[in-house]
Amino acid sequence: MFRKGMEVRAALALAACMLGSAVHAQVATGDTSQKKIALSNSFAGNAWRQSMLKSWNGIAQQAVSDKKIAAAPAFTTAENQVTEQAQQVQNLILQGYNAIVIDAVSPTALNGTIKKACAAGVVVVSFDGVVDEPCAYRVNFDFKGWAEQGVDYLATRLNGKGNILEVRGVAGISVDNLMHEGVLDGLKKHPGLKLVGSVNGDWTQSVAQKAVAGILPTLPQVDGVATEGEMSFGIAQAFKAANRPTPPMIIGSTYPELQWWKEQAATGYQSRSLSNPPGAVSFAFWVAQQVLAGKKIPKEVTINVPLLAISQQELPAKLAATPQGGIADVTYTLPQTVALLDKK
């Protein structure tokens, strides 16, 4: 029932976005052809961020070609540090950008810089790594709910009892904090599940593999893994090297993970994938463009973009559509973005 319900919710959410009627979608038509939008990205050290940057460049180049905007380059910090990204945003303000979409290194540490951008008349849209400065728009995913659903899935597979290993993302990032809260909330609902260990995998296969390999010798039997996506292949390799069976977990949506899942499915392994599509940065791009064009969008509420769900039955088709080394993805057009905004 959990799997079926999650499929239905995801399908309805995506349908609302993708099939939003033009009758209800109020696209702002103010002239933005001379406006410049920048992406400030805190790091690019995994496949998700690389795919996100590729999606941004694709949507930006098309928007420039269509004369929707004048320019939309992406800038990525080298060290994933607050001071570095703060300086980057300061430079974008001085360079005259009209809007900045920011995937922030911290939800709070950049607030002073964000406030300066807003005071200078710059539209700020935080995405993925959102900020809590009230002057910025927030486009995000329900990370807490995602992680909680993952624990619910483990509880269903394990009949409510078992030892759980948590593999977290990058320490200090708001996304990781939210997903950890979701794991803890999920465990509260299922007291038969016991958290026996927690490591940081940095949303990277190799780091996750090393971290899990390091902790496994200290752990009792692990019955399930609560993970944050884009690490399941590395986690599986660590269990294999330790001669332990790979326990149930939510699979990420990178090609290696989907390919591994397909191979395991042939031996009876069952799972599902739930992930935040990196192409949703296109949604954040259109939010920035629409605000510049005059559309009124409330800043008080975070706009959650639907997660991408892949069932066992959908796996072969999704894998076939995913480029090797890439990630299963969803992108948004301007009408689709506005349809979802108006629905919200």
Residue 315 lies in a domain: no
105 neighbors 173 (Cβ within 8 angstroms)? yes
Q: Are residues 10 and 97 in the same domain?
A: yes
Q: Are residues 12 and 137 in the same domain?
A: yes
What pLDDT is attached to residue 5? 47
Q: Are residues 120 and 26 in the same domain?
A: yes
What pLDDT is attached to residue 174? 84
**How far is Cα 60 from Cα 101, in angstroms, rounded to an integer?**
12
Rounded (10°) angle between helices 111-119 and 82-94: 10
Q: Are residues 107 and 168 in the same domain?
A: no
- Give every strand in the sheet of 137-140, ordered side by side: 74-76, 37-41, 99-103, 123-127, 137-140, 303-304
CB count within 10 Å of CB 90 equals: 13
Q: Are residues 9 and 130 in the same domain?
A: yes
Q: Are residues 12 and 135 in the same domain?
A: yes
Q: Give the single-character DSSP code of 27.
A: -
**How far is Cα 183 from Cα 148, in angstroms, rounded to an integer?**
5
Positions of the chain with pLDDT lower than 50, given as ranges:
1-12, 14-23
Residue 321 lies in a domain: no
Residue 32 lies in a domain: yes
Residue range(s) defining the domain that contains residue 156: 143-275
254 neighbors 226 (Cβ within 8 angstroms)? no
How many domains, the chain? Answer: 2
Q: Are residues 264 and 211 in the same domain?
A: yes
What pLDDT is attached to residue 79? 87
- Could you give the 3-state DSSP secondary structure of residue 310? strand
Residue 314 lies in a domain: no
What pLDDT is attached to residue 164? 98
pTM assigned to the model = 0.85
What pLDDT is attached to residue 265? 96
Q: CA–CA distance from 254 to each of 50, 73, 276 (Å)?
A: 11, 25, 11
What pLDDT is attached to residue 20? 41
* CATH number, domain containing residue 65: 3.40.50.2300
What pLDDT is attached to residue 242? 98
Tokens of 272: 């599902």
**How far is Cα 40 from Cα 101, in angstroms, rounded to an integer?**
6
Q: Are residues 11 and 129 in the same domain?
A: yes
Q: CA–CA distance from 129 to each of 56, 149, 152 (Å)?
A: 16, 20, 25
Q: Give the single-character DSSP code of 170.
A: S
Q: Are residues 62 and 174 in the same domain?
A: no
Q: Are residues 39 and 130 in the same domain?
A: yes
What pLDDT is attached to residue 45? 86
Q: Are residues 48 and 173 in the same domain?
A: no
Q: Are residues 199 and 188 in the same domain?
A: yes
Residue 317 lies in a domain: no
